[in-house]
Every structure is written in structure tokens, then in C-alpha cells.
Amino acid sequence: MKKWLSPSLLAVFFVLSAIGHYMDWNHTLQFVLSAVAVVFVAGFLGRATESVAHYAGQRLGGFLNATFGNAAELIIAIFLVKEGLFDMVKASLTGSIIGNLLLVLGLSILAGGLKHKVQKFNITLAGLNGSLMIVAVIALFVPAMFLNTHSITDKDTDVLSLVVAGILIVSYIAWLIFSMITHKSYLDDVTEDNEEELPNEHAPAWSKGRSIFYLVLATVMVAFVSEWLVGTLESLTEQFGLSELFVGAFLVAIIGNAAEHSAAVMLAMKNKIGAAVEIAIGSSLQIALFVAPVLIFVSAFTAHGTMDIVFTTIELVAIAVAVFIAKSITQDGATNWYEGLLLLAVYLILGVSFYLV
Amino acid sequence: MKKWLSPSLLAVFFVLSAIGHYMDWNHTLQFVLSAVAVVFVAGFLGRATESVAHYAGQRLGGFLNATFGNAAELIIAIFLVKEGLFDMVKASLTGSIIGNLLLVLGLSILAGGLKHKVQKFNITLAGLNGSLMIVAVIALFVPAMFLNTHSITDKDTDVLSLVVAGILIVSYIAWLIFSMITHKSYLDDVTEDNEEELPNEHAPAWSKGRSIFYLVLATVMVAFVSEWLVGTLESLTEQFGLSELFVGAFLVAIIGNAAEHSAAVMLAMKNKIGAAVEIAIGSSLQIALFVAPVLIFVSAFTAHGTMDIVFTTIELVAIAVAVFIAKSITQDGATNWYEGLLLLAVYLILGVSFYLV
Amino acid sequence: MKKWLSPSLLAVFFVLSAIGHYMDWNHTLQFVLSAVAVVFVAGFLGRATESVAHYAGQRLGGFLNATFGNAAELIIAIFLVKEGLFDMVKASLTGSIIGNLLLVLGLSILAGGLKHKVQKFNITLAGLNGSLMIVAVIALFVPAMFLNTHSITDKDTDVLSLVVAGILIVSYIAWLIFSMITHKSYLDDVTEDNEEELPNEHAPAWSKGRSIFYLVLATVMVAFVSEWLVGTLESLTEQFGLSELFVGAFLVAIIGNAAEHSAAVMLAMKNKIGAAVEIAIGSSLQIALFVAPVLIFVSAFTAHGTMDIVFTTIELVAIAVAVFIAKSITQDGATNWYEGLLLLAVYLILGVSFYLV
């Protein structure tokens, strides 16, 4: 494992894919180089997250990972919003939410469950996460229902979108105050005791300061490499006749969430399922409650006008379906391999449906 | 606090708003007088409920409060049914259900949560309440789905409405038998012990008989003042160009539930969250399972024909959304301020949507 | 009781209804004979199941009962698929799912709850069953949503149906591996200890081998008698002008699930609610995750082409509604008579709606 993640190979492939991208090499070559680079930087990010989680606790570590993971997506999406590509933005937000709730969470639970019979995490936090997810679904679902069944002016649609976006951001900030300040100890993972490892085996190789620096560095690298890879993908997928919806909601989302993937699965296999769940669910909540609303506010200042909060019916169905099954599976605070498999089954059903439409 | 609720001021404003109503004073003056009167009588009702709850236990006290609170709404609605104003009846039933589940429950949990870190109540009762709420949603949702997707005669629609109404009333009566007789002790609030106060501090000022008399008196006063206030509101809102749907589902419902509001929030702040939840959820269940079906049966004897049970799509969405988030938040039998805020966020989203439509 | 189930009377009515069926006697006479025979064979099956459950444990016994009960339905449905009667197949699958989740489960919980104040069963198993049910709903709901909102070729519809069917079968096989092999002991009913009876009172009358033989024999007899009864019903219901949808989803399903009915209710009354729940929910899961997908694969080899997985809107609503209320009621691992009544209320609402459409 150490070999694979060796810093020199990481640097070589990162630099090669950077050169490939800016020199506009052959797209297939660009794709191969940046795909290999993603593997290395995601592995690097996973180690950095784990190290930070060691110092900061599972939940804060999970939050940091989710935030750094989504920073890349937010930046990419702002560029798309500036160009008025609202449909693609919504497709990739949808894909990011379901990708985290089904693919990242599913793989983590499956991988962790194959090594450990039953994995437990904080049931109170699971319940709160579930309620937050339902609020997110409601906030996306209600405007769409009202606008589909009633005629309403464009101006009122903008007002509704901005008000709902404001409510979501306030809810998210209140959540941070609640979970990090007023009820921090209340939510502290009850299973953390069970997860103590032998100190010599798992003591992180890096100091606290260096871990944080590496976390930031790795996240930035993931952001760059992801964008380069996405750039090549779009031209490659044209060859294969894939729809924009499928590319946005699945391919882009899978690659854009590489950071969450690698970190969450790695933590789950070390029986830190609480941190893995926090990354997967925390990341999807951040997308729905913070990234999406921020994009709506940003769009209000662009030449293309305000991006409304109205997602398409199949996007809403996909999000609602992902939330329901993820909530059902996590609400008892215990996971096993079969539950991971169920999440992946739902992801597959959605993927095939999006692919065929 | 005592000053505020002083009986003489209460009487003065009640009488003034009565005179204003029957003498048909200027509407703005009427509005101000009755709005102030509502504050006093709601406070009075809150104290009476609390006193009765002291003698009767939290659950029976909550049930009594919910019943007296809804008696006013039932009476007003019967008058509306007699005049054939079925749409307004359904809008106000919808508003009453979501007002109790989101606004009353949300404010109670938020206010209680700001004073007490975590508040606990009977988890078994929460689960049963959740199941009952889902049955109520199903009973409203299924007929609407069937009638929207299939052509069906008016007579069959009446039959379906009456049968479903009958099933709901039977379910509600069975619920009373279950919760008050066969499984009374099973449901007794497990947290009641934690909530014992120092006897000299909270011993009610009134005897048992006087408390019950005051409860009835206060409820009747709330009913009258609410109606007077509603009367002025309708003409006032015309000036501001508000839709009937918004007025019926939000303004009327908020004022009509003043009794539940004041009692529930006051109990929550005294850490009697079990009684507060019982008032809020119990009241909305009573609306859905008893008040609405009774109105359908009453309508069958009026000149305007049977009121069908078919709510509009956005009313159904509002009710379903309120039930899902309330169920998600209460099902673990513990609440905190953030959960109250989430309920209020959903109420705000629905309010803005109804306002703009 | 023994008298009623006496083997000679059972044999007489079974043979009489067989003769009636193959000699094509008067339909009303056929109906009476086979209806009486159903009562006897269902009772026989109930005793055999109980005896096997004694040797095999509640969960395996429940699984065996569900499987043998559904074997009959699968065989009947294959004949219908061969004749291209896809709509009737889907109606009867729908009826079987909601019949098990609402009628069988409701009657079991009600009957058991009238004898025992509160009945408990394995809460972990209940949670997993709930998640599986949600996956089943998603698998039926997502393709229907995508196909209703987008134009899609017939070939792609077939591909989608076959892929989803494949995912469901894999999920079901993985569930058997999980619940019977890798996590068998984890799921073993925690309440089994509470349900030990006095050995002399309940020791089964039959040996292990004989019990299994009787279970197979009784299931085969139920399959035959059900089919004979269904045959007469179809001509009888024509006289009364019932719709195919109602007959398929209610009458056929009720009779076709006679085996599950009798066994589950009998077990619930003996306080073996865990086995009763396993029969009811296990049977409906088997229909959704195994029987329906197998029928889709079978249809691909028939002259009528592949049966798609797209159920009608009201079928989907009925299934979703049944799953939500069943999940809500079972998720706390405890049941009482009122919860049984709620399930029956929902079944009645659906029944009346289907009848009137």
C-alpha cells in the first residue's frame, strides 16, 4: 500500500496529467493519465483525512472531508452557472447527492460489513441526519409541485427560489452551530470507545499541523485532477452517445466524489463506520443545504438571471428515493454488508434508468 | 407574567372586542381589539390546561386541550359547510393539520429546547402517533389518486367519501378506547417522573373542579374571539390581495389554533414536552380522523350535497410533507432546539409557496 | 378444534371439490364445496407449519411457509403469463403484496393483540425487512416514473425491465445468504425465550420428517383447492359485475394467500408473533423480489414478448401505501391490537377504492 501511495509516483502522474491538460494532448491519453492521477491523489486525501480525523475526532474529521470534497464541486458549478448551464448544474447536484447517499455510503457499508459483522454508530446523529435529509427533499420537492400545478410568474419563481435557498442556508448554519457548539458532546460518537486501536499500529505518521496542510493540499489536487478528467470525459462520452443527464448525474458525480469515496471506504474498513457515514451523508446534506442554495444566490448576480430551484421530475424522484432508502438503512445506527448491497442495488436501478432515458 | 394575565384586563378586552364585533366598528380597530383579546384568552387557556393536566396527567390533559381547541374549529367549519364553502373548509382543515404539526410543534420544541438541552417523551406513544398520522395521510391520499386517474360517477365519489370518513371515525374511536382504556398504563409517560417539580412552586392555584370549569370557559372564549378576529381578517386581507387558499390555510389556522399554541409552548418550556407533543400531534390527528370525517357526514344532510374527501394536490402535498417531517423528528422520543427549527423551516417553505401561488 | 380438522372430513371435501371441478358441476355448488375444502386444508397447513416451526425455529418456519404459500401463486401466474394476461398477473401480484402486508399482518396482529397485551419480536429483523420493502417499492416505482415522463423504445423498456428484475433476484438471493448463513445467529429471534411453552401442552403431535411431509402435502392441496375456487369465482363475479382489477387484486389474492392467513393468525394467537410477521412480510417480499422478477424472465421466452415491470399508477400507490404503514407499524418490534386494526383500515380503504373504480 505504501508503495502505491508513494509521493514521487503521485507527483509524477499529477504533473503529467497537468501538462497533458494544458498542452491539450490526445484526449484518450489525457483520460488515462488523469484517471491514474485521481487514484493517487484520492489515496493521498484518504490518508490525510484519516490522520486529521485522528486528531479532530470522527465527526469533525468527517465534516472537514465532506467540506473539502465539496469545495471542488462548488467551484466547478460556479463556472457552469456563470455560463448559464443551469440544467447541467442541477444534474450534477442530483448526481452528487445520490452518489454520496447510495454509492459512497453503499460501498463503505459493504466493504466495512465484509470485514466486520455489525458496525455501530451514533443513533441520535443518524436520526438527526435523517430529519435533515427529509427537509432537504421537502425544500426541493414543494416548489416543484407548486410550480408544476399552478401558473406563476417568472419573478415569483425567482422569489420562491431565493427564499427557499435562504431558508436552507440558515438551516445549514444552524446545524453547524447545533452539532459543533451547543450539542457537540451530546452527539459525540458513543461507539468511539469500541474503535480504539493499538497505538503503535495506527498512530498517524504525520503531526497535527502537517495533517491539516496535507488535507488542504490533497483536496486542491483532487479538485484540479477531477476537472481535467471531467474535461476529457465529455468529449469521450460524445463518441459513445451518452446523454448529458447521465454524464452529469453519474460520471461527473462519481469522479467529483472520488475524495469522499476513498476516505469513507477506508474508514469503514478500519471499523470507523461513524466517520464514513458522516462523510457520505454529511457531504450530500452539504450539497443540498449549502452548495445548491449558494449557487442560486450566485446565479442572481450573473447575466443569465436567477437559476430556479425547480429540479426535473426524475431528478426529484432520484433524490427522494436515495434519501428514503439511506434513512431507512441508517436509522437504527447499525450496518451490515447486506444493507450496503441494497444501497448499491438502488444506485444501479437509478443508473440504468438514467442511462436508458 | 401574572399582571399580563390579570383577569380584569382579560375581561375588558374580551368585552371590547365583542362590542366592536357586534356593533360592526371600523375593521382595523376590531382587528386590534380582538388580536389583543386573543393574547389574553390564549394565556388564560394555557394556564387552565396546565392546571387540568396537573390533575389528569399529561396525556389526558393534552387530549382535553386538543379537543377543546378543535371544538371551536369544528363549529366554525360546520357553518362553512352549511353555506357550501367546501374549498374553504378543506383549506382550513389543511392549515390546521400543518399548523399543529409544524408551527405549534416546532415552536414548542424550539422554545423547550432553548431552555432544556434534550427533552424526552414516551417513545411508544410517538411511534403510534406516527402510524396514525400515516393512516390519515393514506385516507386522504388514496381517494384523490383514484379519482384523479379514473373516471368515476359523482354518486360513487360520495360513497367513497362516506366510507372512508366512516373508517376514519371508527379508527379514531378505537384509538380513544386503546389509549384511554385498554392500554392506558402501557402508554403512561415514562418521563413523568423526571418532570416532578417542587410542590410549592408549581402547585396549581385552582382546585380540580375550578380548573375544569376554567378550561371550558377559556375554550369558549377562544372560540368567540377567534371567530371575531377571522371576520376582520377576511376583509383586511382583501385589501392586501391575499388568496383565499393562503388566508384559509395559514392566517385562519394560526389564529384558530391559538389555544394549542399557547398551551403547548408553555408546557414545553416547563419541560413537559410529552404533553406539548400530545397537544400538537393529538390536535392534528383529531382534525384528520374526526373533524374532517364528521364534516363529510354533516354535509350529506345539507342542501349542497356531500362534501367529497378529495383535497387538492397542493393541500395533500402540504399535509404529507408535514406528517413526514413531524414523524421523523418525534419518532426517537427526544427533541432539541434544532429539530424545532427544522419544523419551522418546513412551515415557512410551505407558507411562502402558498402565498405566491 | 380437533374435530374440525379431522383428516377424514378434510379428505371428503377435498375429493368432492376435485370431482366437482373436473366434472364441471354447477358453479355455485363448486364454489361452496371448494370454499369449505379451503377451510380444512388451510387449517391442516397451519398445523403443519406450526409443527415445522417447532423444529426449525420461527424464522425458517416462516420462510418455509411463505415459500410454499407462494409456490402456488407462482405456478398459477406462470400459466397466466403464458396466455399473455399480463395485466391480470400484475393485479394479482399487487393484491398478493398488499394482502400479505395489510390483511394477513393486520389480522395476525389484531388476533394476537386481543389475547396478549403487547407482542414483541426481533427489532433488527423488522428494520431490515423495512429496508427491503422500500427497495422493492423503489424497484417498481422508478421504472414506471421514468417511462411515464419520457418516451422510450419498447426494446429499452424490455431491457430496463429485465435488468431491474435481475437486480431484484440477486438482492433476494443475497438476502437468503445473509439471513440464513452469514448473519443467522445475529437475527435469531430475541424473544424466542419468552415464548417457550410448557412442553407437554404444545409438543407437536408429529415427528420432524412427518411434519415436513405434511407441510408439502398441505401446500399442494391448498394450491389445487385455491385454483378450483378461483375458477368458480371468476364466473360468479361476472354475475355481480365486478371489475377484473378488483377480482385480481382482492378476491384472488385473499384466497391465494389462505395458507399464509391461517398459519400466521394461528401463530400470532400462540404469541409467536415473530413467526407471524415473518410469514406475512416474508411472503410479500418474496412476491416482489422473487416471484415478479421470475415471471418477467419467464415471459421473455413466451410468444407474447417480455412482460414489462411497469405497474399501473393505482397499483403502485396501493403497494407504496401498504409498505409505508406496515413499515411504520413493525419498526419498533412491538405490536398491539390497535396496530392490527390500522392495517385492516388501510386494507379496507384500498378495497373500497378498487371496488368503485
C-chain CB neighbours of A327 within 8 Å are none
Contact B314 A134 (CB under 8 A): no
Contact A178 B338 (CB under 8 A): yes
More confident residue, B68 or C164: C164
Where does the pLDDT of residue C198 fall: very low under 50, low under 70, confident under 90, or very high at 90 and above?
very low
User: What pLDDT sits at residue C295?
Assistant: 93
| Chain C nearest-CA residue for A322 | C138
A-chain CB neighbours of B334 within 8 Å are 124
- H/E segment holding residue A232: helix A208-240
User: What pLDDT sits at residue C111?
Assistant: 94
C-chain CB neighbours of A338 within 8 Å are 128, 174-175, 178, 183
**What secondary structure does DSSP assign to C103-136, as a single string?**
IIHHHHHHHHHHHSS-EE--HHHHHHHHHHHHHH
Of A128, A160, A178, the CB nearest to B353: A160
User: What pLDDT sits at residue A191?
Assistant: 44
Q: Are C331 and C126 in contact (CB under 8 A)?
A: yes
> Hey, of B125, B128, B129, B138, which one would you mutate to test binding to chain C, going by the most C CBs within 10 A of its CB?
B138
Distance separating alpha carbons of residues C64 and C72, to the nearest angstrom? 13
Residue B227 has pLDDT above 60, yes or no: yes
CB atoms within 10 A of CB A22: 9
- Distances from the Cα of B290 to the Cα of A77, B170, B220, B302, C166, angstroms: 50, 9, 20, 19, 46
At B99-143, the pLDDT tens digits run 999 999 999 999 999 999 899 988 888 889 999 999 999 999 999
User: What pLDDT sits at residue C201?
Assistant: 42
Residue C268 has pLDDT above 70, yes or no: yes
A to B CB pairs, distance under 8 Å: 86
CA dihedral angle for residue C332, residue C334, residue C340, residue C343, rounded to 10 degrees: 10
- Side chain identity at residue C126, one-letter code: A
User: What pLDDT sits at residue B320?
Assistant: 95
B-chain CB neighbours of C118 within 8 Å are 183, 186
> Hey, of B319, B349, B354, B355, which one would you mutate to test binding to chain A, going by the most A CBs within 10 A of its CB?
B349
Distance separating alpha carbons of residues A98 and A353, to the nearest angstrom? 14
At B273-319, the pLDDT tens digits run 988 888 899 889 999 999 999 999 999 988 888 888 889 888 999 99
Average pLDDT, whole number, for chain B?
Answer: 84
At B40-86, the pLDDT tens digits run 887 787 788 778 877 877 677 767 767 776 776 787 788 778 878 88
- H/E segment holding residue C335: strand C334-335
Q: Are A233 and A252 in contact (CB under 8 A)?
A: yes
Q: Which chains touch C (3 or more CB pairs under 8 A)?
A: A, B
- Low-confidence residues in chain A, pLDDT < 50: 1-4, 190-201
Where does the pLDDT of residue C121 fall: very low under 50, low under 70, confident under 90, or very high at 90 and above?
confident
Q: Residue B119: beta bridge partners?
A: B335
Q: Are B54 and B272 in contact (CB under 8 A)?
A: no
**Residue C40 C-beta-side C-alpha neighbours within 13 Å:** 23
Per-residue DSSP letter, C308: P
* Best-predicted range by mean pLDDT (B213-227, C210-224, C323-337): C323-337
A to C CB pairs, distance under 8 Å: 83
Where does the pLDDT of residue B199 fall: very low under 50, low under 70, confident under 90, or very high at 90 and above?
very low
A73 CA: distance to closest CA in chain B (Å): 26
- H/E segment holding residue A334: strand A334-335
Average pLDDT, whole number, for chain C?
Answer: 84
Phi, psi of B276 (to 5 degrees): -65, -45
3-class DSSP assignment, residue A181: helix
Of C127, C143, C182, the CB nearest to A353: C143
User: What pLDDT sits at residue B266?
Assistant: 85
- pTM for the whole structure: 0.87
Distance separating alpha carbons of residues B203 and B223, to the nearest angstrom? 28
Query: Which pairs with CB-CB distance under 8 Å and at least 24 residues apart come from A211-215?
Result: A211/A48, A211/A51, A211/A52, A211/A54, A211/A55, A212/A52, A214/A44, A214/A47, A214/A48, A214/A51, A215/A45, A215/A48, A215/A49, A215/A51, A215/A52, A215/A64, A215/A65, A215/A68
From the list B69, B14, B107, the residue with the least C-alpha distance to B258 is B69
User: What pLDDT sits at residue C165?
Assistant: 95
- Side chain identity at residue B257, one-letter code: N
A-chain CB neighbours of C138 within 8 Å are 321, 324-325, 346, 349
**What secondary structure does DSSP assign to A122-144, as a single string?**
-HHHHHHHHHHHHHHHHHHHHHH
Of C117, C339, C342, the CB nearest to B186: C117
Phi, psi of B335 (to 5 degrees): -130, 155
Distance separating alpha carbons of residues C98 and C105, to the nearest angstrom? 10
Q: Are B253 and B99 in contact (CB under 8 A)?
A: yes
Q: What angle do CA A260, A261, A267 make, to 5 degrees?
A: 85
A148 CA: distance to closest CA in chain B (Å): 10
User: What pLDDT sits at residue B192?
Assistant: 47
Helix/strand/coil (H/E/C) assignment for every residue in chain B = CCCCCCHHHHHHHHHHHHHHHHCCCCHHHHHHHHHHHHHHHHHHHHHHHHHHHHHHCHHHHHHHHHHHHHHHHHHHHHHHHHCCCHHHHHHHHHHHHHHHHHHHHHHHHHHHHHHCCCEECCHHHHHHHHHHHHHHHHHHHHHHHHHHHCCCCHHHHHHHHHHHHHHHHHHHHHHHHHHHHHCHHHHCCCCHHHHCCCHHHHCCCCCHHHHHHHHHHHHHHHHHHHHHHHHHHHHHHHHHCCCHHHHHHHHHHHHHCHHHHHHHHHHHHCCCHHHHHHHHHHHHHHHHHHHHHHHHHHHCCCCCCCCCCCCCHHHHHHHHHHHHHHHHHHCCCEECHHHHHHHHHHHHHHHHHHHHC
* Chain B residues bordering chain C (beta-carbon distance below 8 Å): 123-124, 127-128, 130-132, 134-135, 138-139, 141-143, 145-146, 149-150, 152, 156, 159-160, 163-164, 167-168, 170-171, 174-175, 178, 182-183, 186, 327
A356 CA: distance to closest CA in chain C (Å): 7
At B338-356, the pLDDT tens digits run 999 999 999 999 999 988 8
Contact A186 B118 (CB under 8 A): yes
From the list B27, B60, B50, the residue with the least C-alpha distance to B237 is B27
Residue in this structure with the C-alpha cell 377435498, named with its chain if needed: C14
Residue C78 has pLDDT above 60, yes or no: yes
User: What pLDDT sits at residue C194?
Assistant: 45
C-chain CB neighbours of A342 within 8 Å are 131-132, 135, 171
- Side chain identity at residue B299, one-letter code: S
Q: Residue A154 has which C-alpha cell? A: 417568472
**Residue A331 C-beta-side C-alpha neighbours within 13 Å:** 26
A-chain CB neighbours of B349 within 8 Å are 138-139, 142-143, 163-164, 167
Q: Which chains touch A (3 or more CB pairs under 8 A)?
A: B, C
Residue in this structure with the C-alpha cell 360468479, named with its chain if needed: C236
From the list A224, A202, A261, the residue with the least C-alpha distance to A53 is A202
Mean pLDDT calculated for residue range C2-11 = 70
User: What pLDDT sits at residue A197?
Assistant: 43
More confident residue, A215 or B170: B170
Contact A124 B332 (CB under 8 A): yes
Per-residue DSSP letter, A333: S
Residue in this structure with the C-alpha cell 372430513, named with its chain if needed: C9
Q: Residue C350 has which C-alpha cell? A: 384500498
- Residues contacting residue C340 through CB under 8 Å, at least 6 positions apart: C105, C106, C107, C108, C109, C110, C111, C112, C113
- Residues contacting residue B231 through CB under 8 Å, at least 6 positions apart: B21, B30
Contact C163 A324 (CB under 8 A): no
What do you get for the CA distance between the two ends of chain C, in Å? 41
Per-residue DSSP letter, C306: P
Where does the pLDDT of residue C259 fall: very low under 50, low under 70, confident under 90, or very high at 90 and above?
low
Strands B119-120 and B334-335: antiparallel
Radius of gyration, alpha carbons of chain B: 20
Where does the pLDDT of residue C34 fall: very low under 50, low under 70, confident under 90, or very high at 90 and above?
confident
**What secondary structure does DSSP assign to A106-120, as a single string?**
HHHHHHHHHHSS-EE
Contact B186 C353 (CB under 8 A): no
Where does the pLDDT of residue B89 fall: very low under 50, low under 70, confident under 90, or very high at 90 and above?
confident
Contact A134 B325 (CB under 8 A): yes
Distance separating alpha carbons of residues C235 and C249, to the nearest angstrom? 16
B-chain CB neighbours of A156 within 8 Å are 356
CB atoms within 10 A of CB C303: 8
Distance separating alpha carbons of residues C76 and C96, to the nearest angstrom? 13
- Side chain identity at residue A330, one-letter code: T
Residue in this structure with the C-alpha cell 437509478, named with its chain if needed: A350
At C236-257, the pLDDT tens digits run 777 777 777 787 788 777 777 7
Kindly list the domain boundaries of chain B, sorted by start residue. Answer: 3-356
> Hey, of A319, A339, A342, which one would you mutate to test binding to chain C, going by the most C CBs within 10 A of its CB?
A342
Where does the pLDDT of residue C196 fall: very low under 50, low under 70, confident under 90, or very high at 90 and above?
very low
| Chain B nearest-CA residue for C331 | B127
Q: Are B99 and B107 in contact (CB under 8 A)?
A: no
| Chain C nearest-CA residue for A331 | C127
Of B135, B145, B163, the CB nearest to C352: B163
Of A118, A314, A352, the CB nearest to C149: A314
Of C123, C142, C149, the CB nearest to A349: C142
User: What pLDDT sits at residue C168?
Assistant: 95
